[in-house]
Amino acid sequence: GAVVSQHPSWVICKSGTSVKIECRSLDFQATTMFWYRQFPKQSLMLMATSNEGSKATYEQGVEKDKFLINHASLTLSTLTVTSAHPEDSSFYICSAHTSGATDTQYFGPGTRLTVL
Amino acid sequence: GDSVTQMEGPVTLSEEAFLTINCTYTATGYPSLFWYVQYPGEGLQLLLKATKADDKGSNKGFEATYRKETTSFHLEKGSVQVSDSAVYFCALIEVGGSYIPTFGRGTSLIVHP
């Protein structure tokens, strides 16, 4: 099946710093990528939908200035958590969907962010 | 709107026991249905899917049948292993929609030796 990677797999940072998370589709071109946040023992919460070459669409309640999303190519989307605070600590997961393919999303392995 | 309801966990079983995790859904159209599995500390992996009524998805001994009449997609496995311990998510995607899945809350499965 299709492979989606995320980097880094975990990161620890100080409060007030910014962290960038990369999501790559390794063997296919992803016209649309999605960013999710998952709290412990809970389901995934969709944060935003990212389309290549256009601005991301954020879900209600998600601060677009805090969670910057860039989808610069058909194989790469990045999520930057700006001025991170401890409450931003979470597990962030991306997924990718291909245009014209079946309606399946392929998920990355996730990135564990801990803000001290 | 669309929704997915899963049985609450954790589900605790002994090795080789029979597994059923219930999943029901509501949707405005004709969704495709999925089961994803999440092992500790990892992302989601597609376990199986079904795209139309009466389809049966199967993988690694797991199977689920798309039941339109009962709007259900229950996950079953005849004999679980310790390595099956994980969180299982039922999800749907509306065909022709935004391709954004609607997830259930997830059901934790714990298998003891």
Scanning every residue of chain B, which has its alpha carbon at the shortest distance from the alpha carbon of A110? B43
Per the CB < 8 Å rule, is B99 touching A97? yes
Residue A115, pLDDT above cutoff 90: yes
Give the number of C-alpha atoms closer than 13 A to the C-alpha of residue A46, restricted to the C-beta side.
19
Whether the CB of A41 is below 8 Å from some CB of chain B: the reply is: yes
Chain B positions touching A103 (Cβ under 8 A) are 32, 51, 93, 95, 99
A55-107 pLDDT, tens digit per residue, is 899 999 999 999 999 988 889 999 999 999 999 999 999 999 876 556 677 89
Report the pLDDT value the prediction gives residue B29, as an integer from 0 to 100: 80
Q: Please give the mean pLDDT across all residues of chain A.
A: 90
Give me the total of CB pairs closer than 8 Å, taking one residue from chain A and one from chain B.
Answer: 49
Other beta carbons within 10 Å of B5: 15
Report the pLDDT value the prediction gives residue B5, as an integer from 0 to 100: 95
Return the SS3 of B44.
Answer: strand
Residue B74, pLDDT above cutoff 70: yes
Per the CB < 8 Å rule, is B95 touching A102? no
Per the CB < 8 Å rule, is A41 touching B42? no
Selection from B71, B62, B66 nearest residue B109 by Cα: B62
Contact status, residue A44 vs residue B44, Cβ threshold 8 Å: yes
Contact status, residue A42 vs residue A52, Cβ threshold 8 Å: no
Residue B20 CA to chain centroid, in angstroms? Answer: 10
Chain A positions touching B44 (Cβ under 8 A) are 44, 93, 95, 107
Residue B73, pLDDT above cutoff 60: yes
State yes or no: cis peptide before B101, omega within 30 of 0.
no
Q: In whole angstroms, what is the distance from residue A98 CA to residue A3 CA? A: 12
% of chain A exceeding 70 in pLDDT: 95
Query: Higher pLDDT residue, B2 or A1?
Result: B2
Taking residues B24-33, what's their average pLDDT?
90
